Amino acid sequence: MKYYLIVLIRNALKIFFVFPIQKNRIIFNAYNGKQYGCNPKYIYEYLEDYSNKLDLIWAFESTEKFHFDAPIKKVRYKSLKYIYYVLTANIVVENSESWSIIPKRNGQTVINTWHGGGSYKKVGTSRKDGNSFNAKNVRDKNRRVDLYLSSSKAFSTQTLRESFDYIGEIMEKGMPRNDILVNGNESVVQQVKNKLNIANKKVVLIAPTFRNVTDFALESFNFDLLLDTLEAKMKGSWVILYRSHYYETTKVNDPRIIDVSNYPDMQELLLSSDVLITDFSSCMWDFSLSFKPVFLLSSDIEEYQEREREFYTDPYSWPYSLALTFDKLIQNISDFDDDEYQQKLVSHHKDLQSFESGKATSAIGEYILRKTIREDFHE
Taking 90 as the threshold, does the pLDDT of residue 139 lie above it? no
Same fold, 10-174+357-372 and 184-351: yes
Separation of alpha carbons 162 and 225, rounded Å? 43
Model-level pTM?
0.93
Separation of alpha carbons 67 and 232, rounded Å? 42
Residues 352-369 pLDDT 10s:
999 999 999 999 999 999
The confidence score (pLDDT) of residue 100 equals 86
The confidence score (pLDDT) of residue 126 equals 82
How large is the average pLDDT for residues 180-199?
97
Which of the pair, 209 or 29, is modelled with greater confidence?
29
Residue extents of the structural domains in the chain: 10-174+357-372, 184-351
184-351 in CATH: which number?
Answer: 3.40.50.12580
Lowest mean pLDDT among 144-158, 234-248, 311-325, 353-367: 234-248
Taking 80 as the threshold, does the pLDDT of residue 372 lie above it? yes
Question: Under CATH, to which class is 10-174+357-372 assigned?
Answer: alpha beta
